[in-house]
Structure 1
Amino acid sequence: MPDAILADARTPLRTPRQTPARAPLPELAARAARTGGSPVRDILALTARPEVISFAGGLPAPELFDAAGIAAAFQHVLADDPRRTLQYSTSEGDPALRAAVAARTTARGLPTGPDELLVTTGSQQGLSLLATVLLEPGDTVLVEDPCYLAALQIFSLAGARVVPVPTDDEGLDPAALDELAARERPKLLYVIPTFQNPTGRTLSAERRAAVAEIAARRGLWIAEDDPYGELRFEGEAVPWVASFPGAEDRTVLLGSFSKVMAPGLRLGTLRLPAPLRRPCVIAKQAADLHTSTVDQAAAARYLATTDLDVHLARVREAYRERRDALVDGLTTALPEGSRWNRPSGGMFVWATLPAGYDATALLPEVVRHDVAYVPGAPFFAGPPDPAAVRLSFVTHTPEEIREGLGRLRGALAEARGKE
């Protein structure tokens, strides 16, 4: 056989490369498709330029972090016992940290043992765990209206039916809550009773007692979120809803280190009634196994060696001055006919512009003046108020706040002049 023919026989036949058939990918889960992003996070990205004075984010003042004390705590736990602090840990959380939180909770008026607590990766994870163990798709959740945005996201991802409870200048309306609880048969009520996000309102002791009684009589769980309770500038502290008769066996108290130590630690706690402890531990195991061992150990060390109350006194004084600068300056910064509150603590002021103003539509013009706020509309589970605005006063100094209010005044005046 000729060599050429042999060569051809050894060479594989070349065929054109064919594109394989491509079926469409499966669709996203319905929970992902129906849940939107956080407008607050989007605004923070939009206003990340250093020249922007932002009243938008609930960002604690970074210059007030006890960076030296936290660094010393990390250095100690890493040098003292690195084999433990860099290892896997229990899902329930660091025993020393749980004991420290239990002691602080008890000292604030709610007797608590370490075994009642679960450490979470931020209090927002705590709410996610609670939704996981309590809510089936279609279950009804009652929320204050307006409500914390992340809670609305969490309940949407759980497939819950969210029903807004009307509020007034004093917070959640107990009579409306009772009526809705009877009609809607909810499984859970979510509430931030102290310095609420977004409104800064605080529920009175009388209303808290009414919430506890209604929850007991109507048969529902309460998720009491308390990230701001230790940031009181004036007035007497109000007891937790969990401490009122009727609420003791049905209230989950969510705590956070984000506002009292540092949000970057991502540490929170759940104080759980007995029936929910084991289910939430299992949900925690499935979510992330456990919260960072080294962060928990450092937080426990910090609490053992630092007087947190002294640190918080310094933070509260600074925040009080910043609140005063914001609230006192709104008289000239906002248009005539605007309304706003003066919270006794926390991080937020809730303002309402006059009829005809749309805070969302005005925001691009405001940002062009290197200042920002969060429109109130996204916080509503019911029909939104387009004129509502949330303003945070903690991130900037009083001088920067006054400069920002001057920019806001000019932006709003210019925007209205273009109409």
Structure 2
Amino acid sequence: MSNLTGHWLKRLAESDKPVYQTIPELIEDDVASGRLRPRDRLPALRDLADALNINYTTLARGYAEARKRGLIDSRAGSGSYVRGRPPTIPLRAGTALEMTMNMPPEPPGIAERMAASSAEIIGSADPYSLLRYQDFGGSQYERAMASQWLRHTVPQHRSDALLVCPSIHSALVALLLRLVKPGETICTDSVAYPGLKVIVNQLGMRLAPLPRDDEGLDANAFEVLCKTRKPGVLYTNPTLQNPTTRTLSQNRREHIADIALRYNVPIIEDDAYGMLPEKPPVALATLAPELTYYVTGMSKCFGAGLRIAFVIAPNARHAERLAGAMRATTVMASPYMSHLTARWIESGLARDMLLAIRTECAVRQHLAERVFFGRQFEASKDCFHFWLTVPGSTGWSASELASHLRTKQIGVVSGAAFSTDGDPPNAVRICLGGPGDALAMEESLQIVADMLDHPDHLHSPML
């Protein structure tokens, strides 16, 4: 456990949160990374408190919080153990029962067109040209098609500031490396995309979580932070946010853009779901173009395997500098994938796919609304996930519910995975996309609803 305590010492020193809130996050992150495995025995409270040079009572409170989140079990006389998970569901590319992975639905009737188009595109291309190194940022043709596609969400962007990239995730890595200086923080919502947390931890950076209100990220809190300690960058997912599905209003976007401009804080606008609404809101990249890096892609609106993303930088000079950072980490996007994407945009197939996915999203959200009628949840007809509050009256915590659902062969994601402030909401994200028909999905949702109505975990043995 010496490696573990050394890692925890470093993370505790970097964290601005109370120690008792940080301890559960450390356990959860270490389980996710494989540093801790289910059923590993944690150090005794007294020994770990001495090793970390923290108060025994504080550490005990941290362990209690970890138990509350369903991360560990404690038994008198035998210590505390990383909670042994029930048999896991193999990731079957997001089947109807595997609702942890946020993937778009796969509507019937378009698969044959995709297959025929793919064969035609690859068959007509020079294979050797697709096996060579490419200029980073995409060919002139690929950028032109990407620019045409992005007129839907950022109508007035400059095409010479646009880059074609391997994925949104890799674009975020390069942007954070480029924009955040040592000692600076990344300002974000208190509930955010889990991938951001993973990237930040890997890069040794720090998050500065902002409180939220009914609309989302609190603009006034953002301004207070800018006044007290200017963040290196603001990261936001303003349209159909993952996980809450909220979309910032025009007024809130204008308020945030105004604050960023006054305090000269760069914005990373992660608009992964921005193509899904038929009438998208005005992008922050339109309201504050001189500060905003607009990021979107194909994986969240078409399929996780289509790892092509687009970044619109504030200007061509900034795009060139970002291209250098991305070249150092990813070399280039897959020529096959970027060429396929461009041809699908040009032929209109991408547009037809998007329309079919929008229709299927609305169908699945309607089914979810019917199953969970009368319960507290957030959803939008335009997206393929929803955010379900777990009522305290059920006796479940979100982590316990997610763990127990896996024994029923259903996967959901608890609020702890999205929390950036150490105070996770008692809610779960449930995804409605991937393969599988709507009927199978509805049956799975009904099992979730029944479990909330009949919390049989109160009478089941601890796993």
Q: 2:390 aligns with which of 353, 361, 382?
A: 353
Q: 1:383 aligns with which of 418, 422, 426?
A: 422
Secondary structure at 1:201's aligned position in 2?
A: coil
Code of the residue aligned with 1:349 in structure 2: it is F
1:281 aligns with 2:323: yes
Q: Name 1:7's counterpart in structure 2.
A: none
Q: Name 1:9's counterpart in structure 2.
A: none
Q: Name 1:401's counterpart in structure 2.
A: 441
Partner Cα separation in structure 1 for residue 30 and residue 115 of structure 2: 32
Partner Cα separation in structure 2 for residue 66 and residue 169 of structure 1: 39
Matched ranges for 1:300-379 at <5 A: 300-331=342-373, 338-355=375-392, 357-379=396-418
Q: Structure 1 stretch 361-370 or stretch 116-125: which is displaced more?
A: 361-370
TM norm structure 1: 0.83
Secondary structure at 2:346's aligned position in 1?
A: helix
Code of the residue aligned with 1:141 in structure 2: it is I
Q: Name 1:61's counterpart in structure 2.
A: 105
Q: CA deviation at 1:331?
A: 3.1
Query: What CA deviation, in whole Å up to 9, does each residue of 1:365-417 have, x standing for no partner?
Result: 21112222110112111132352111112235331222112222343424354
Q: Closer, same or farther in 2 for the Cα pair 1:171/1:85, shift >3 Å?
A: same
Q: CA deviation at 1:91?
A: 1.1
1:241 aligns with 2:284: yes
Secondary structure at 2:354's aligned position in 1?
A: helix
Code of the residue aligned with 1:382 in structure 2: it is D
Code of the residue aligned with 2:299 in structure 1: it is S
Q: Name 1:214's counterpart in structure 2.
A: 259
Verify the 8 A CA contact 1:38 1:150 in the aligned structure 2. no
Q: Name 2:300's counterpart in structure 1.
A: 259
Q: Closer, same or farther in 2 for the Cα pair 1:418/1:409, shift >3 Å?
A: farther
Secondary structure at 2:430's aligned position in 1?
A: strand
Q: 2:130 aligns with which of 85, 94, 97?
A: 85
Verify the 8 A CA contact 1:146 1:379 in the aligned structure 2. yes
Q: Closer, same or farther in 2 for the Cα pair 1:46/1:195, shift >3 Å?
A: same
Q: Percent of counterpart pairs with the same letter? A: 25
Verify the 8 A CA contact 1:329 1:405 in the aligned structure 2. yes
- What is the number of residues matched between the two proteins? 383
Partner Cα separation in structure 2 for residue 322 and residue 139 of structure 1: 42
Q: Closer, same or farther in 2 for the Cα pair 1:241/1:264, shift >3 Å?
A: same
Partner Cα separation in structure 1 for residue 175 and residue 250 of structure 2: 25
Code of the residue aligned with 2:320 in structure 1: it is R
Secondary structure at 1:248's aligned position in 2?
A: coil
Verify the 8 A CA contact 2:285 2:294 in the aligned structure 1. yes
**Structure 2: tracts of 5 or more residues without a match:** 12-25, 38-84
Code of the residue aligned with 2:301 in structure 1: it is V
Q: Name 2:211's counterpart in structure 1.
A: 166
Q: Name 2:70's counterpart in structure 1.
A: none
Verify the 8 A CA contact 1:70 1:298 in the aligned structure 2. no
Query: What CA deviation, in whole Å up to 9, does each residue of 1:345-383 have, x standing for no partner?
Result: 222211211225311123232111222211011211113
Q: CA deviation at 1:96?
A: 1.3
Verify the 8 A CA contact 1:205 1:239 in the aligned structure 2. yes
Q: CA deviation at 1:297?
A: 1.4
Q: 2:90 aligns with which of 35, 48, 58?
A: 48
Q: CA deviation at 1:186?
A: 0.3
Verify the 8 A CA contact 1:77 1:301 in the aligned structure 2. no
Q: Name 1:76's counterpart in structure 2.
A: 121
Partner Cα separation in structure 2 for residue 232 and residue 157 of structure 1: 33
Q: CA deviation at 1:52?
A: 7.2
TM norm structure 2: 0.75
Q: CA deviation at 1:325?
A: 0.7
Q: 2:191 aligns with which of 146, 151, 159?
A: 146
1:36 aligns with 2:76: no
Q: Closer, same or farther in 2 for the Cα pair 1:344/1:184, shift >3 Å?
A: farther
Verify the 8 A CA contact 1:143 1:162 in the aligned structure 2. yes
Query: What CA deviation, in whole Å up to 9, does each residue of 1:11-50 have, x standing for no partner?
Result: xxxxxxxxxxxxx9xx99x79xx7937959999x932276
Partner Cα separation in structure 1 for residue 115 and residue 311 of structure 2: 23
Verify the 8 A CA contact 1:166 1:173 in the aligned structure 2. yes
Q: 1:125 aligns with which of 133, 148, 170?
A: 170
Q: Which has the larger radius of gyration?
A: 1
